[in-house]
Amino acid sequence: MMDSFHGTTILAVRYNGKTVVAGDGQVTLNNTIVKHRAKKVRRIFNDTIVVGFAGATADALNLSEKLEAKLERYNGNLIRAAVELARDWRTDKYLRRLEAMMIAVDDKNMLLISGNGDVIEPDEGVIAIGSGGVAAHAAAVALLSHAETIGCDANGIVAEAMKIASGICVFTNDVFTIEEA
């Protein structure tokens, strides 16, 4: 039986004109934690785009590099670059085997990009992927609905939602990388 890596939680939230992306730092191999401080959220394309990835690390890094090449080709147009990456990902014999998902954001756009050819922009300004994605998404939506009452900004919402997800998902820890787009 082949060992497999599990888990990750990536969350992006847009609130009051700010977009923040967070990822946890845990890497597991079967039922063992092998790393606590992995960086799954990065800045690319002259620090104007923030990406977060879930899935096989080498595959995710490959996709991040390919997205950056598309951004260079299309002068930083995130939507165009994401659509072209998704098209290549779905049709290229090598890329089709990659096992990862990606969230990419800039100051105007928030996208989920998948190997199925999906380029999805959420309706409510929240998107999450990975093993703890559902918990982080639900927590962020709940926090957003009370953000003014509790005095949270986008950074606070993301940090608290990730904390909630880390308390629920065994493949998500409480060591976060948080970047603002």
Please enumerate in sequence order all residues whose Cβ is within 8 A of that of 140, keeping only pairs 6 or more positions apart, or say none. 11, 13, 126, 128, 157, 158, 161
Q: pLDDT tens digits for 36-86?
A: 999 999 999 999 999 999 887 777 888 889 999 999 999 999 999 999 999
Q: Let me know the angle formed at the C-alpha of 166 by 115 and 169, rounded to the nearest 5 degrees.
A: 65
pLDDT at 22: 98
This prediction has a pTM of: 0.92
| Whether residue 107 has pLDDT greater than 90 | yes
Q: Is 91 marked active-site?
A: no
**Where do the domains of the chain lie?**
5-180
Active-site choice (8, 9, 28, 172):
8
In this prediction, what percent of the chain has a pLDDT beyond 90?
71
CATH superfamily of 5-180: Aminohydrolase, N-terminal nucleophile (Ntn) domain (3.60.20.10)
Q: Residue 28 is encoded by which pair of tokens?
A: 């597991």
